[in-house]
Amino acid sequence: MNTVGFIGLGIMGGPMADNLLRAGFAVVGYDLAEDSLKRLEAAGGRVGATVAETIAGADVVITMLPDSPHVEEVALGPGGILENAGEGLLYIDMSTIRPDTSLRVAEAAAAKGVRVLDAPVSGGEKGAVDGTLSIMAGGEADAFEAARQVFDVLGTTVVHVGPAGSGQTVKAANQLVVGGTYALIAEAIVLLEKSGVDAHRGLDVLAGGLAGSRILELKRTTMINRQFKPGFRIDLHHKDMGIALAAAREAGVALPVTGVIAQLIAAARAQGHGSLDHSALLKVIERIND
């Protein structure tokens, strides 16, 4: 696989495409944002004027898009991937979307002779830049093996988690854990500060003990300093929590803590913080305590 068509060159997709270029892949990219296309060209990639042009001659096509409707339009819509795909193409959707959408795409792709994986990622912008993403892939085992040379460039934890749609279900579980962790760190900061304890020292101790986590390692200083430059926006996490709750209903399970976290993220969005990093849940907890 030498040529990758990459659709969606935003905060995550842009650096992922850069890493593929550095690894020696030819990358043809498509995005609605002109700045993203200029960045790709500057890195040595080519720009496709349409989806069809972007995937022409590609061995593998990757989409990294905001939500289910965008994937449906690009993959299934007129002028989209499946309409223009040659038999044997490997299509990897690395967006975070509803599992049932991934299943529909997989069924439509199979009818066209296109191999497909739903392979959402975790690790945020830093993971995308560093090539250290966690990748959870759903689909056929042979498609997963074919995608390994691409995945190994983009991530360090790469797992085939099951059939089509499974990757999205695992990502839903990831997002509810991430959201809950941010909320609890936010509460810890408020408790420490309101009690007159140095929050930096307090969280340093927590990070070295059983309460330690990747989020606490990477985000405790920026949270305490109220620096919420987006690596992953509240708006997107709000969308993801909706996916998690929908998956829970589909599975017939009750996730009460997830419901509370979803409401806190919805509150952050309602308070105008949707464009901030999801660590801005701290602003919601602070407002409750003002």
Catalytic amino acids?
171
Region at 201 (left for phi over 0; alpha for psi -120 to 50; beta for the rest): alpha
Structure tokens at 151: 């995945």
Strand-pairing partners, residue 177, are none
Query: What secondary structure does DSSP assign to the chain, as a single string?
Result: --EEEEE--STTHHHHHHHHHHTT-EEEEE-S-HHHHHHHHHHT-EE-SSHHHHHTT-SEEEE--SSHHHHHHHHHSTTSHHHHPPTT-EEEE-S---HHHHHHHHHHHHHTT-EEEE--EESHHHHHHHT-EEEEEEE-HHHHHHHHHHHHHHEEEEEEEESTTHHHHHHHHHHHHHHHHHHHHHHHHHHHHHTT--HHHHHHHHHTSTT--HHHHHHHHHHHTT----SSBHHHHHHHHHHHHHHHHHHT---HHHHHHHHHHHHHHHTT-TTSBGGGHHHHHHHHH-
CB 163 within 8 A of CB 137: no
Closest CA to 143 of 179, 114, 108, 121: 114
